[in-house]
Amino acid sequence: MGEGGGEIRAVLFDIDGTLLVTGGAGGVAWQRAFEERFGVEANVAEHTDAGMTDPEIVKIVFREVIGREGTQAERSKAIAAYLEHLPDTVAESDGYRVMPGVEELLERLIEQGLLLGLVTGNIEAAAHIKLARGRLNRFFSFGGYGSDSADRTEVTKAGLRRGELVSGGALQDGACISIGDTPRDVSGGHGAGIRVIGVATGAYSVEQLRDADADWALETVEHGFPA
């Protein structure tokens, strides 16, 4: 199983742009949170890029919209308000969809005995809110989240540590790979010492993901998934 490395025993999946799209539900939740708590209009898409962690997003909005860094207490207040609004914005979104072939792939990997985890810039609670509408939470037994770190490499390392616990130490020597739709996903995986599949279902093309040094670059998860 796999190529250019050992047997693959676990796969870490990014969420937004890889497993699903929320149709802008996250951005709407951030907008409502900042308007409610700080009285500002915050269009997150104007100030952030795909693949950023939630802690990065909060800091950028404070700096570029409010004009200051924001205290830890203020940033925590913004995240709490975001989580209050996110279930409603996800439920209301007409653009929410699970990516083509994802559910079939997850079922196949589980049947093959692979462990599935998450590696996402979403804080943990937000990750599970987004997955719940598509009934995808049931596939994942561990993960690394934006609530672990603002840095994508550290998020990936956190996911790997939890995967080691779940697997009983069976994820050494290239046995875990990750999949994501942005160059940040690629660099985060490589920074954590694992191979990465780039999938062009988000904002980046196959060519851009290859240029970011993805070990594999696919149009969708239906096209040649190495596991």
Q: Does 143 lie in the same domain as 58?
A: no
Across the range 71-76, mean pLDDT stands at 93
**Nearest one of 147, 215, 202 to 176, comparing CA atoms:** 215
Q: Does 78 lie in the same domain as 158?
A: no
Q: Does 101 lie in the same domain as 65?
A: no
In a domain, 37, yes or no: yes
Q: Does 80 lie in the same domain as 134?
A: no
In a domain, 162, yes or no: yes
Q: Does 129 lie in the same domain as 188?
A: yes
Q: Which residue is listed with tokens 């203020």?
A: 74
In a domain, 126, yes or no: yes
Q: Does 166 lie in the same domain as 136?
A: yes
In a domain, 2, yes or no: no
pLDDT band (50, 70, 90) for residue 222: confident
Q: Does 194 lie in the same domain as 101?
A: yes
Q: Does 33 lie in the same domain as 116?
A: no
Signed CA dihedral, 157, 161, 162, 167: sign only: positive
Across the range 130-138, mean pLDDT stands at 98
**How many domains is the chain built from?**
2
Write down the pLDDT at residue 193: 95
**Nearest one of 175, 164, 169 to 141, comparing CA atoms:** 164
Residue 122 sits in a domain of what CATH number?
A: 3.40.50.1000
Residue 61 sits in a domain of what CATH number?
A: 1.10.150
For 138-167, how does the pLDDT look when each residue is reduced to its tens digit (9 = 90+)? 999 999 999 999 899 999 999 999 999 998
Which of residues 65, 92, 119 is at a domain's end? Answer: 92
Q: Does 159 lie in the same domain as 200?
A: yes
What range does the domain containing 69 cover?
A: 25-92
Across the range 23-36, mean pLDDT stands at 93
Residue 170's alpha-carbon distances to 49, 125, 157, 174, 179, in angstroms, are: 34, 27, 15, 10, 19
Q: Does 82 lie in the same domain as 57?
A: yes
Which one has a higher pLDDT value, 225 or 190?
190
Q: Does 155 lie in the same domain as 128?
A: yes
Please say if the pLDDT value at position 3 is more than 80. Answer: no
Which of residues 92, 119, 146 is at a domain's end? Answer: 92
